[in-house]
Amino acid sequence: MPGPKGTYSFLTPVEYKGVIKAKVDAFNKQPKELMTGSLWGATAGGDMEDVKKFIKDHYKVAQDYKCSYCQQRIEVNHNGAWDAEHIIPKDSHPQFMFEPRNLCISCKDCNLIKLNKPVLKNKTRSTFADSPDDYLICHPHFHEYSQHINIIQEAGFYLPRTPEGVMLVEVCGLLRFVLKYADCEWDSEQLAIQIHSLGGELISAAPSARFAIMAMMRTLLDEGLRKAALLAISARVDKFAAA
C-alpha cells in the first residue's frame, strides 16, 4: 500500500523526541567512519539504553507484541523478552542503526538465526533503501506479510508465496516451527490436524501453490518421506542457526 509520500508503510516507524532525539541526532552527525555496529551496546559516554528502551516500547505496541518475522505473539511487557532488530544489520550498515524504518522488534530465536545475513539486493548500498524492491526478504515496513507468507498456525507451516517470502523463511529459519509439531513419534491426531489445515489451505490456494501443498500432504502421509523431510529440515535449521 503506497503511503502518503509514495512510500510503502505497513508499520508505524518510531518517532524520536526530546532527549532521545538529541542522542540519535548526535549519533547520526558523526562521521561515517566512526560508526560501528558495536556502538549499539556502548555504555561509557554514549549510553543508548534509554534510546533502545524507547525503540522497543514503540514497536512492541506498533506490532501488537508479534515478532516481525515469525509473527508469533509474545505478550510480555518486559523488554528482555524482545530484541530490537536492525533489518539491515547494524554491523554491515551502522549508519542505519537508528533509522526508524530499519527497526522493528523480533523474537530472540528469529534474531539469533537472522544475525548478519544480507537482506539488500545491493549489498554495498550506502543510502537507506526505502522501496520494497530493494530487499531480498519480505520487509516489516515495506511489505505486507500475508501477501508473502501464509502461516498455517496449527501445523507450524510457513508457506511462502513470493521470492521475498522464501528468503524470509530461509534467513530467519522459520522451518523450525514445523519441527516443534512434527517429531517421528507423531500420533494420528496430530497428523489429522496438519492434513486438515493443509486441506483448508489447498481449497483457497492459487494454482501455483497447489503443487507445493499437495507435495506437503503426500510427505506427511508417507512415513518414510516424512522422516526424510524432517531430517532435511532439521539439517537446514541447524545450518542457519550456526551461520
Pick 27 or 69: Cβ nearer Zn ion: 69
Query: Which cell numbers in the block locate residue 227?
Result: 522422516
**Nearest distance from C-beta of residue 111 to Zn ion, angstroms:** 8
**Nearest distance from C-beta of residue 178 to Zn ion, angstroms:** 14
Angle between helices 188-204 and 207-221 (to 10 degrees): 170
Q: Report the alpha-carbon distance of residue 202 to residue 199 in Å, rounded.
A: 5
Pick 72 or 95: Cβ nearer Zn ion: 72
Query: Segment near Zn ion (CB under 5 A), from 4-12, 109-117, 138-146, 147-155?
Result: 109-117
Q: Report the alpha-carbon distance of residue 125 to residue 148 in Å, rounded.
A: 24
**Nearest distance from C-beta of residue 112 to Zn ion, angstroms:** 10
Contact with Zn ion (CB under 5 A) among 110, 129, 167, 220: 110
Q: Name the amino acid, one letter, at 20.
A: I
Pick 20 or 107: Cβ nearer Zn ion: 107
Of residues 69-108, those binding Zn ion (CB under 5 A): 69-70, 107
Q: Report the alpha-carbon distance of residue 172 to residue 63 in Å, rounded.
A: 18
Query: Segment near Zn ion (CB under 5 A), from 61-69, 117-125, 184-192, 234-242?
Result: 61-69
* DSSP class per residue in 117-170: ---BSSTT--S---SGGGBSS--TTTS-HHHHEEEEGGGTEEEE-SHHHHHHHH
Return the DSSP state at 131. Answer: S
Query: Segment near Zn ion (CB under 5 A), from 21-29, 31-39, 110-118, 176-184?
Result: 110-118
Pick 130 or 164: Cβ nearer Zn ion: 164
Contact with Zn ion (CB under 5 A) among 20, 48, 51, 67: 67
Is 20 near Zn ion (CB under 5 A)? no
Of residues 220-239, those binding Zn ion (CB under 5 A): none
Q: Report the alpha-carbon distance of residue 32 to residue 159 in Å, rounded.
A: 40
Q: Which of 243, 119, 117, 110 is nearest to 177 (CA)?
A: 110
Summarize as ranges the residues that interact with Zn ion (CB under 5 A): 67, 69-70, 107, 110
